[in-house]
Structure 1
Amino acid sequence: MIGWLMLWKVIACHGQKVPEALQYRLAATIVEELRPISVLVPAQLLDTLGVRVYLSDQPSSYLLTKTEAFMMSGAGTDQHNALRQYFKLADLSYMQHQLLIAREFKFKPGLFSQNWVHIITKDTLTALGAQYNKRLESSEEYKRYDSLLHLYGQNRRFAIWGMLFSRDHKSAVVSVSYFDGWDIWVYEKGPQGWRRKGKLYSEID
């Protein structure tokens, strides 16, 4: 534990930032993969683009902490061994120095080239949570995703976070959550853009 805390202090002093445009280009590839598992509902039938993707601006603290712990895992652990299949130690160190800055990253409306990507902010979800609690006090059965369905036409919401890049910015680790779980993926940049190279971790809700 002491070594883990000391490493966090070093990272805090020497945080590594990558270009925001690089993060959005990787995310643009991922939302294309998410679109087929979004839900088409009658309210969207007039939309010539068809299905929309609803993306949280930032994941929960729980998910952030889980992925950070994965990236900070020590030598000899299953997590570290999985990472070493794809990355050199120098790349992992470079990624670890991106962690604190990556924790603060939020997607902003209007920055995706795909106009069918809609950002749902944490403030919106907080308000829905307050509404959920109020409904519970009145003994009326209600769930937060019911409001998502009412507001946005569907309740399948995704999140992308922890985009950590290798030193040459040609490969990356990224976490993606769905409506029924989340994964940690490795992506590789080629002549045609980013593509999935392998899965490091998966958790089903």
Structure 2
Amino acid sequence: MNLFSSFDPSTNFNFSINWLSTLIGIFIIPSMFWLIPSRFNMLWMKIILTLHKEFKILIGYNKTQGSTLIFISLFSFILFNNFLGLFPYIFTSTSHMTLTLTLALPLWLSFMIYGWLNNTIHMFAHLVPQGTPSILMPFMVCIETISNIIRPGTLAVRLSANMIAGHLLMTLLGNTGPTLNIFSINFLIIVQILLLILELAVSMIQSYVFAILSTLYSSEVN
């Protein structure tokens, strides 16, 4: 077994249901139907409203009502999965391209199909930035087309690579524990705690980045 086998769902305790950890976050999402909202519920509602306002500015106020719901749901789903992956013995589904590409590709594909069918002229105009010299136009079309095609790949790779990198670093440091003396172990524990705080921040940032970039891509096709 090599180092990356810890991220393989089939070798992780030989459970065939490791992917069920993706759905655990659903049970943690605070219910909107409680009689007396808790502080946690009110905090979550505040986060959702803040995200709604921000996404609405990017998408445009005149667009379809409730259009921010899909991006807020996407943010919540990735955030809970990233958080749960930091707990011991819980399979991190967002560190796999299988899940991240499944989230990114249908979104990007639906934006592209909608844009090319409904706003064809607008989509063609996007291929050549304003003020481009005539001699550079063919090159700009190629560059813009390639950058457009690799968008779902960059979204998926960014999320999975960030999740794998932090977990791998924590695993590598943790494996050195049995060989260290008392002083070094104390230092290692402090470093691991700091890394865990960093990973908590990364899990929030990456879910926000995924959602905000998806929103930006959708605003371009309108």
TM-score, normalised by the number of residues in structure 2: 0.29
TM-score by length of 1: 0.31
Q: Which of these two proteins has the greater Rg computed from alpha carbons? A: 2
Higher strand share: 1
**Higher RCO, 1 or 2 (CA under 8 Å, sep at least 6)?**
2
Kindly indicate which of the two structures has a greater share of residues assigned to helix. 2
